[in-house]
């Protein structure tokens, strides 16, 4: 699941960095 979340985070990182951090934290 980590890989899936990582991919989503990476794709959305350009649009919403907060989303990426939200998943990790």
Q: pLDDT digits over 1-25, tens only?
A: 566 666 666 666 666 666 555 555 4
* pLDDT score at 24: 54
Give kind and range of the element (H or E) at residue 20: helix 17-24
Q: Report the pLDDT value the prediction gives residue 15, as an integer from 0 to 100.
A: 61
Q: What is the pLDDT of residue 6?
A: 66
CB 9 within 8 A of CB 19: yes
Q: How distant, in Å, are the alpha carbons of 5, 17, 23, 25 from that of 8?
A: 5, 11, 10, 15
Q: In the chain, what are the domain boundaries?
A: 1-25
């Amino acid at each position: 699941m980590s890989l899936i979340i990582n991919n989503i985070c990476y794709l959305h990182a350009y649009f919403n960095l907060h989303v990426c951090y939200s998943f990790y934290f």
